[in-house]
Amino acid sequence: MTTKVDIRFEFPAPSIPLPPETREAFVAALRARPGTWALMGQHSSPGSARQAAYCIRWALRLRSFQPAGAFEADAKTVMGEHRVYVRYVGEDAASASSEVTAR
């Protein structure tokens, strides 16, 4: 018995930063569904995905994700794709994390 397998051979997509207006729409959608993870995009390497997740968590270079701590981000490698997942956890989580950091 032979099993049919659908395979799509292709190179991974290059990292393409979201333009500001698209990023704002993405952030608005996350804020509308707190606690729900969403795929933000793919990166060319695991290191660049981890760096993007770090910048989102700490709201570095990306004003859309302010205040720091209001969003969680995680970098995962899935079947050779380096992905960044993001979720909105709220302003309360951001203030709680800044209080812990200040101590």
Is the Cβ–Cβ distance between 86 and 37 less than 8 Å?
yes
Band (97; pLDDT cuts 50, 70, 90) = low
What does pTM read for this prediction?
Answer: 0.75
**What are the tens digits of pLDDT across the range 60-69?**
988 899 999 9
pLDDT at 52: 94
- 85 vs 101, residue with greater confidence: 85
Is the Cβ–Cβ distance between 23 and 62 less than 8 Å?
yes
Q: How far is CA 30 from its chain centroid?
A: 11
Give every CB contact of residue 54 below 8 A, 6+ residues apart in sequence.
60, 73
* CA–CA dist 62, 22 (Å, integer): 13
**What are the tens digits of pLDDT across the range 11-48?**
666 666 678 888 899 999 999 999 999 999 888 899 99
pLDDT at 86: 97
Whether residue 4 is predicted with pLDDT greater than 60 in this model: the reply is yes
* CA–CA dist 87, 57 (Å, integer): 10
pLDDT at 71: 97
Is the Cβ–Cβ distance between 73 and 56 less than 8 Å?
yes
